[in-house]
Amino acid sequence: EASAQQAPTFAVVVAIDFGTTSSGYAFSFSTDPEAIHMMRKWEGGDPGVANQKTPTSLLLTPEGAFHSFGYTARDYYHDLDPEEARDWLYFEKFKMKIHSTSDLTMKTELEAVNGKKMQALEVFAHALRFFKQHAVQELKDQCPSLPERDAIRWVITVPAIWKQPAKQFMREAAY
């Protein structure tokens, strides 16, 4: 029968919880989908505390290149000399801008703490790329035999209240 259950074509599912205040991810292998592994080893934060999530904070260099995300971004930015910090692009709690913008387009801009603007699509893409690289590295560490291509099914959470343009925006940022 065509409706017979087919084995998944992926080895692992990684779910990214991109939150307003904090973000994280978890994964499970298709061979044991009930065993869910949550990322708890975030760099930074309070010493000795295992955090399931890291702040949804992104730091870009003055040139607009990715520097860091989460606790690392927050701490590095706050440790910068105030003069120097003015040139860096620091974004925090930027997710809801996508929901609250009534005329959301792929050209919508976000404002960094210093007032400089950048395309929201690029900001979200930097954040999602961080999670992808972080998860892939953790998976490689745990499962060196994991194939490079097509082994991971990616899932990104979006709020149920989001309208279609916001969901499509997140999809584009992921691509």
| Chain segment 18-45, per-residue pLDDT in tens | 998 999 999 999 888 898 988 877 777 6
Q: 101-140, pLDDT tens digit by residue? A: 788 888 999 999 999 999 999 999 999 999 999 999 999 8
* Domains by residue range for the chain, with CATH: 12-174 (3.30.420.40)
Those residues whose C-beta lies under 8 Å from the C-beta of residue 144, and which sit 6 or more positions away, are none
| CA 23 to each of CA 16, 56, 73, 82, 87: distance values in angstroms, whole numbers, following the listed order | 8, 6, 13, 27, 25
Q: 112-121, pLDDT tens digit by residue? A: 999 999 999 9
Q: What is the pLDDT of residue 89?
A: 97
Longest Cα pair distance anywhere in the chain, in angstroms?
Answer: 68
Q: What is the pLDDT of residue 4?
A: 52
Angle at CA 17, nearest 5°, toward 155 and 8? 25
Q: Which of 74, 96, 170, 71 is nearest to 128 (CA)?
A: 170
Q: What is the pLDDT of residue 83?
A: 93
Q: Strand, helix or coil at 46? A: coil
Strand partners, 153: 13
Q: What is the pTM of this model?
A: 0.88
Angle at CA 84, nearest 5°, toward 109 and 55? 55
What DSSP character marks residue 8?
Answer: P
Assess contact for 114 and 82: CB atoms under 8 A: no
Q: Mean of the per-residue pLDDT values for the chain?
A: 88
